[in-house]
Amino acid sequence: MAQQTDFIVIGSGIAGLRASIALASAGSQVTVLTKAKASDSNTEWAQGGVAVVLSDDDNAELHEDDTLEAGAGLCDEQAVETLVTEGTKYILELIDWGTEFDREGGKLVFTQEAAHSRRRILHAGGDSTGKEIVRALIARARQETTINLLPFADTEKLLINDRRCVGVRYADPILKSPRDIFAKAVVLCTGGAGQLYLHSTNPPGATGDGIAMAYFAGAEIADMEFVQFHPTALSVKNAPRFLLSEAMRGEGGVLRNAHGERFMSKYDDRLEMAPRDIVSRSIVREMRRTGTRNVYLDMTSKTEEFLVSRFPAISKTCAYYGLDISKDMLPVSPASHYCMGGVRTDLWGRTTIPGLYAAGEVTCTGVHGANRLASNSLLEGLVFGARAGEAAASDSLNIQVEESSDETSSYGSLSAKVSTAVRKRVKRGMWEWVGIMRDEESLSRAYAEFRQISRAKLSNASRNFVTNALLVARAALWRKESRGGHFRSDYPERSDELRVHSIQEGDKEIDSAPRISF
């Protein structure tokens, strides 16, 4: 039984909620589908904060320069300009909507993070920024009577009719069966694919389904080789990786090896405040040099009172594992954190498929280039979520909802779960062969492995999972240089000839020969 609505938004992180509010403000009926509860998203896990130009000693040009520098020559300058100039407006709007960023004496408090030339990072609850933003946005969304939040509704695929996206098929949480819902347009805000890796700071739902669904629907996918690994994830035996915010280094934390030596001076003049890709590779090299599985983040120069106040959630989590952040050196190692690549969009969230828009980590807007500047992700979701919602509304004024789709757009069997066997093989393969350090041999092995898995009879979720792994591996195989988050030990230098985006065209058959265009 089919349903109708004006617009469908998939995902309820910062991008999805802001897009929904923009659509509802235009007088539209909006259905928001989420695979879990409405507040469960990558946004909720964001600790450090959101970068924005609001302090007296900062300006948009400085923020833009920092973003371009971190992006290693692949940022779209117009996209970066849009981000930093419009970001201030949307952050002030969040504050008007009740978002409670941390203050001292009534004034907003800013912190510093790696590769930023100014203290421009707003935070909330010390290290619970994302959680506070989601709270405020959900409260604001619930003021709009035309927004229908539908949790535990796992999207199975995009519905395409005559090359236009007209709706989605999802697993109805009540009927426990697949159901189609049609709309004028769909806005994809499903987040990234950090869970492709064995060690990740991302929540369990960050499996990249939106990227794969868009690919199978025929959309262009860009820059999938660029994966950011966060340098400092808590590394405790038999425990999942837990993010230790970059703000900890911004507040004076230093990295030490197993011998207690501060080592970043051997790798970069910016020490612990170098861009994330450099710090992550430096940590890997130091671990290999010392024959250890981790290094240490040392915060002991700060008082217990300051650390517990500034990093309450981190302090509590570390204490659970028997670590006092004011007295103990914290064992850390890199973990997958953010995907710079994704569904290719313009500056208004339009993908290469009419009727399909996207915003947030699921996209490649060109803002991040080859390496995301710390704390730009929440700002991107906010700015481009609003723009995607506005564009979808204005572009669809004369569009009618059609309850039909092409039969050829279906694939796989309906299931919300990735099989344990597929998940384990892909995650280990991605970590070992498509990780922080890459080369021709390891990438070729990964690509062959993932192609073999993709030929099996798989559920939609499993096929999405291995498809994303293939998209990353074959783009990384093609890019014979090192740039930003992509490092090839067999091609350690940057190539001017490869200062281009890798674009993989949507294809129903992922196991066909790679087709990459620029």
| Cα four-point dihedral sign 456, 461, 467, 473 | negative
Please give the torsion angle defined by the CA atoms of residues 355, 224, 287 and 45, in that order, rounded to the nearest 10 degrees: 0
Please give the torsion angle defined by the CA atoms of residues 420, 421, 424 and 429, in that order, rounded to the nearest 10 degrees: -150
Please give the torsion angle defined by the CA atoms of residues 323, 329, 334 and 338, in that order, rounded to the nearest 10 degrees: 70
The C-alpha angle with vertex 362 and arms to 71 and 418, in degrees rounded to 5, equals 125
Cα 201 to Cα 303, 333, 415, distances in angstroms: 26, 11, 25
**Sequence-separated (6 or more) residues with CB below 8 Å from residue 143:** none
Catalytic member of 120, 276, 479, 488: 276
In the chain, the amino acid numbered 432 is E
- Of 515, 455, 10, the C-alpha closest to 218 is 515
Please give the torsion angle defined by the CA atoms of residues 429, 435, 437 and 439, in that order, rounded to the nearest 10 degrees: 50
Catalytic residue at 276?
Answer: yes
**Sequence-separated (6 or more) residues with CB below 8 Å from residue 347:** 78, 79, 82, 365, 384, 387
Count of beta carbons in the 10 Å neighbourhood of residue 395 = 16
Q: Edge-to-edge strands of the sheet including 147-150? A: 147-150, 30-33, 7-10, 185-188, 356-358
Which phi and psi angles does 490 have, rounded to 5°?
-90, -10
Q: Which tokens in the block code for residue 337?
A: 């954190």
Alpha-carbon gap, residue 499 to 162, rounded angstroms: 35
Catalytic residue list: 276
